[in-house]
Amino acid sequence: MRVLVLALIASLSAAAGAQENDAESIVRDSINHWRGLSSKTELTMVIHRPDWERSMTMAGWTKGEDKSLVRVLEPRKDRGNGTLTIKKNMWSFAPKVNRVIKIPSSMMGQSWMGSDFSNKDIARADDILDDYEYTLLTTDAVDGVEVYEIDAIPHEDAAVVWGKEVLTITAESVLIKHAFYDQDGELVKVLETLEVSEMGGRTIAKRQRMHEIETPDEWTEIRVESVEYGLELSDSLFTQSNLQNPRD
């Protein structure tokens, strides 16, 4: 599932027209609002295991739902490593070898930078809506804000392994929780927002954590340090040559 996609998408606020109770339109609104939008983010990713913890700081640029570029800032030894994704495809760059390499499909299932996200999770596509059938389950009010719980059932042929996913989105289009269930209805993994705050002019999920239910002591956390929206980002930013020779 395009986890990071939805996380980043839904962390935008969709101020206009998100009051309808139609599930699909709630999701569509966040996406529509996102389409044509661009962002620059600085975030920290923490990978936690029972016996160690690792932290990385990264800068990320996105444009629309298809394109994203991530560059590692810290720690020093990883500085300059980058990942470019366009639609479902991913390229990797390592300054140490000064080469851009396309990740073949056989490696797309591998973990991204050692985290609990896979390469496939990071790569984005514009057909998220097409892959699922959305149903609004409940509407609740929490602290005066409306919260929608939405069922997302993948279509028959969709390239999705899950039996269903449940998204909990606020009226401000902040994703509070994204739960992944297997085809027997058992919860397998979950992405939870731990902190919501206003950044870059919007209410967004500032801290999110992903972990598998069976191993609660192993998780990956993403913390947004700073974010800017609505920038003018040219398409040339999202190219392999830029990946290799940053002009950003």
Partner 1 sequence: MHLFGVLFQLAWRNLWRNHRRTIIMLSAISVGVWAMIFMTALTRGMVDQMVVDGIKALPGHVQIHNPDYLDDPSVNNRIPISDAELQQKFATGNFVAWSSRVKVPAVITSERDSRGVTLLGIDPAAERDLSFVKYDEVDGRFLEDANDKGIVIGRKLAATLETEIGKRIVIMSQDPHNEIADRGFRVVGLYTASTGAVEEAFAFVGKSTAQKMLGIVGETTEVVFLGDDYRDVEAVYESVVAEVDGSVVVNRWYDVDTYLGTMMKVMDGFVLVWVVVIFLALSFGLVNTLVMAVFERVREIGLMLALGMKPGSILGQIVIESMLLLALGLAIGNILSWATIIPLESGVDISFVGKGMEMIGAASVLYPKLNLNDVVLANVVVLVLGFLASLSPAWRASRYEPVEALAKVG
Partner 2 sequence: MNIVLRLAWRNLWRQPRRTWLTMGAMVFSNLLLIFMMSFQFGMYGLMIDNTLKFFTGHMQVQASGYKDDKKMRQTVPDIIPLANSIRAKLASDTVAARAQTFALASSDNRSFGIAIYGVEPTFEVNVSNIPGLVSSGRYLEAGNPAEIVIGDILARNLRVGLGDEITLLGTGVDGSFAAAVVDVVGIFSSGAKDIDRNIAEISLEHFQDVFFMEGAGHLISIVGTDLDLVEQLQADVTSMLPDSGEFVVHDWNVLQPGVRQAIQADMGSSFFMYFILVVLVSFSVLNTQLMSVLERTREFGIVMSLGLKPGRLGRLVVLETAIMGLLGTVLGILAGALLTTWVGHVGFTIPGMDEMAAQFNLPARMYPQITTLSLLAGPVTVFLFTLLASIYPAVRLRWLHPVEAMRSV
Count of residues interacting with partner 2 (CB under 8 A):
25
Sign of the C-alpha dihedral, residues 11, 112, 160, 37?
positive
Give the span between the Cα atoms of 90 and 158, in whole angstroms.
Answer: 20
- Which of 10, 86 has the CB closer to partner 1? 86
- In the set 19, 98, 183, 226, which binds partner 1 (CB under 8 A)? 183
- In the set 19, 20, 87, 99, which binds partner 2 (CB under 8 A)? 99
Interface with partner 1 in residues 188-227 (CB under 8 A): 188
- Which residue has 């998780």 as its token pair? 219
What are 191's two structure tokens?
Answer: 């992405």
Closest CA relative to residue 143, chosen from 102, 176, 103, 118: 176
Residue 46 in the binding site for partner 2 (CB under 8 A) = no
Residue span binding partner 1 (CB under 8 A) among the ranges 2-10, 87-95, 141-149, 190-198: 87-95
**Minimum CB separation from partner 2 for residue 33, in Å?**
33
Residue 132 near residue 112 (C-beta atoms within 8 A): no
- Which of 35, 102 has the CB closer to partner 1? 102
Which amino acid, one-letter code, is at 226?
A: S
Pairing of strands 145-154, 164-170: antiparallel
By CB under 8 A, name the binding residues for partner 1.
87-89, 102, 104-106, 108-109, 120, 123, 154-163, 180, 182-183, 188
